[in-house]
């Protein structure tokens, strides 16, 4: 255990030397940061010995809990062999085995695996592959990607170009390549969204996509989306059947479908891949976050024989995919990913998970009794609770009120680690959370929203 004097030193050094992601550092400097020292199942433990439920699975990555004996063992076994060797010109055992396994467990037709290190790079790889594919097919005029409003595909320049979150991306607009952004109407209060409005919304979206395609005949590379849930955009759920119909539309119009499963993959939605809910095989599938169970950075872009084969040719034809990251196919990360998938299979986790999901959904409905909860959106083990100043008149809290941030701060004092998306409280615990741990997380979240939003009526 770290003693308190050490923790003071660490806090000082954090403030002196660290620049945190997505963080206004002036606000950070004014606060006492929580410094995590260890993890145990769904709990995170800080340097002062405080325990917190990890309500966001350490930024949506953790699957089976922290410090898992089997994952630790897999990592240690691989470490005694080798930590890293390159896939550029050579191969390694865990990278080969994981590629075989990923092809086995992803939708039929995805037969090739290209590794990288994170979600953004998995998306960059997909975009470049799709773009180059059309060049090899003799259609170099195809240069445009279709993407959605509120989409999030990562923070590198290519991934930002297909992103649709103004506050993240607007600063860099002049750096980004041209795309076609399809605007979708925001989801309204789900309590009043019946099948009818769901259908209407789906039709509107599909029509918008169809129109974009017809306005740019022969110029579209493909369409990229987050299947079922737009995560960072605010945990927005897409209408039932949308993915399926979009996939059919893409197929009929001869454009590529790129599915970004970085957040939804590895069981988050209740199936291994969100695509499975609507029986869709995309042309390209991106996975990262949970791939190595939240242990190590690892990503993969999977694709079809059709795309892979288009890159085959004589060496001097220059059809090679000139892309690769130094730590591509890292053996440690691949070994943990293999064990991650192996635990899913051994414990029949996706089956077990249905009970947890049913409980999660049922208990989330209780949040509607809180006067400032405007919407509760849930899919599998991912939920967003949207706070509003006045849900009846659809009035949001202003950015400056920091309501989401204040709720998460209160939750921290009650023993849960959360992180909001503006005024939407995200709940995304490790999949292996027990029912009683889940109840604690929900109780803390409920109390925190109730306390923070009380006496702040519109
Ligand atoms: C997090 C996320 C990314 C980016 O992943 P990084 O590992 O942070 O680069 C891309 N797409 C989706 C859907 C994500 O949720």
Q: Give the residue whose CA is nearest to atom 8 of ligand 1.
A: 119
pLDDT score of 457 more than 60: no
- From 119, 260, 421, give the residue whose CB has the most ligand 1 atoms within 8 Å, as the site to mutate: 119
Starting at the earlier edge strand, list the strands of the sheet with 51-54.
36-40, 43-46, 51-54, 416-417
Which of 52-61, 181-190, 419-428, 444-453 shows the lowest per-residue confidence on average (mean pLDDT)?
A: 181-190
- From 153, 224, 233, give the residue whose CB has the most ligand 1 atoms within 8 Å, as the site to mutate: 153
Average pLDDT, the chain: 94
- From 262, 325, 384, 426, give the residue whose CB has the most ligand 1 atoms within 8 Å, as the site to mutate: 262
Q: Decide whether any atom of ligand 1 lies within 6 Å of the 329 Cβ.
A: no
How many angstroms separate the alpha carbon of residue 292 from the centre of ligand 1?
Answer: 14
Q: Give the residue whose CA is nearest to atom 5 of ligand 1.
A: 119
How many Cα atoms sit within 13 Å of 41 on the Cβ side? 8
Q: Extract the tokens encoding 393.
A: 């008149």
Q: Are 301 and 258 in contact (CB under 8 A)?
A: no
Quick: pLDDT tens for 21-37. 999 999 999 999 999 99
Q: Decide whether any atom of ligand 1 lies within 6 Å of the 287 Cβ.
A: no
Cα–Cα separations (whole angstroms), residue 245 to 202, 240, 248, 280, 362: 9, 10, 5, 9, 29
Q: What's residue 434's pLDDT? A: 98
What pTM was computed for the model?
0.96
Q: Give me Rg for the CA atoms of the chain.
A: 22
How many angstroms separate the alpha carbon of residue 228 from the centre of ligand 1?
Answer: 15
Quick: pLDDT tens for 109-155. 999 999 999 999 999 999 999 999 999 999 999 999 999 999 999 99
Atom of ligand 1 nearest to the CA of 120: 9
Sorted by sequence, the CB contacts under 8 Å of residue 397 that are 6+ apart come out as 387, 388, 389, 403, 404, 423
pLDDT score of 188 more than 80: no
Beta bridge partners of 66: 41
Q: Decide whether any atom of ligand 1 lies within 6 Å of the 153 Cβ.
A: yes
């Amino acid at each position: 255990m770290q003693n308190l004097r050490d923790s003071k030193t660490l806090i000082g050094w954090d403030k002196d030397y660290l620049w945190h992601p997505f963080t206004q550092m002036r606000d950070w400097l004014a606060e006492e940061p929580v410094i995590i020292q260890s993890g145990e199942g769904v709990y995170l433990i800080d340097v002062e010995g405080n325990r917190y439920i990890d309500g966001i699975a350490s930024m949506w990555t953790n699957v089976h809990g922290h410090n898992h004996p089997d994952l630790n063992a897999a990592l240690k076994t691989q470490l005694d062999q080798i930590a890293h060797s390159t896939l550029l010109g050579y191969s390694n055992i865990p990278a080969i085995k994981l590629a075989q396994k990923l092809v086995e467990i992803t939708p039929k037709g995805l037969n090739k695996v290209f590794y990288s290190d994170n979600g953004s790079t998995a998306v960059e790889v997909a975009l470049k592959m799709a773009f180059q594919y059309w060049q090899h097919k003799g259609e170099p005029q195809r240069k445009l990607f279709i993407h959605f409003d509120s989409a999030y595909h990562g923070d590198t320049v290519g991934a930002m170009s297909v992103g649709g979150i103004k506050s993240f991306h607007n600063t860099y607009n002049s750096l980004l390549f041209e795309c076609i952004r399809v605007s979708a109407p925001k989801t309204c209060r789900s309590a009043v969204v019946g099948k009818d409005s769901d259908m209407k919304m789906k039709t509107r979206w599909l029509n918008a996509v169809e129109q974009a395609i017809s306005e740019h005949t022969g110029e579209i590379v493909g369409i990229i989306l987050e299947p079922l849930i737009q995560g960072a955009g605010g945990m927005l759920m897409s209408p039932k059947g949308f993915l399926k119909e979009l996939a059919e539309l893409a197929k009929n119009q001869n454009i590529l479908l790129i599915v970004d499963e970085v957040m939804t993959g590895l069981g988050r939605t209740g199936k291994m891949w969100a695509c499975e809910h609507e029986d869709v095989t995309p042309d390209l599938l991106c996975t990262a976050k949970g791939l190595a169970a939240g242990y190590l950075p690892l990503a993969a872009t999977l694709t079809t024989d059709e795309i892979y084969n288009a890159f085959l040719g004589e060496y001097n034809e220059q059809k090679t995919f000139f892309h690769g990251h130094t730590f591509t196919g890292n053996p440690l990360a691949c070994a943990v990913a293999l064990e991650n998938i192996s635990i899913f299979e051994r414990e029949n986790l996706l089956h077990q998970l249905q009970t947890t999901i049913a409980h999660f959904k049922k208990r989330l409905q209780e949040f509607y009794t809180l006067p400032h909860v405007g919407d509760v959106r849930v899919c599998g083990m991912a939920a967003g609770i949207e706070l509003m100043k006045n849900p009846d008149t659809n009035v949001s809290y202003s950015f400056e009120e920091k309501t989401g941030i204040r709720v998460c701060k209160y939750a921290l004092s009650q023993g849960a680690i959360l992180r909001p998306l503006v005024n939407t409280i995200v709940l995304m615990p490790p999949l292996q959370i027990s029912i009683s741990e889940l109840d604690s997380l929900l109780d803390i979240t409920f109390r925190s929203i109730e306390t923070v939003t009380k006496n702040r009526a519109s």
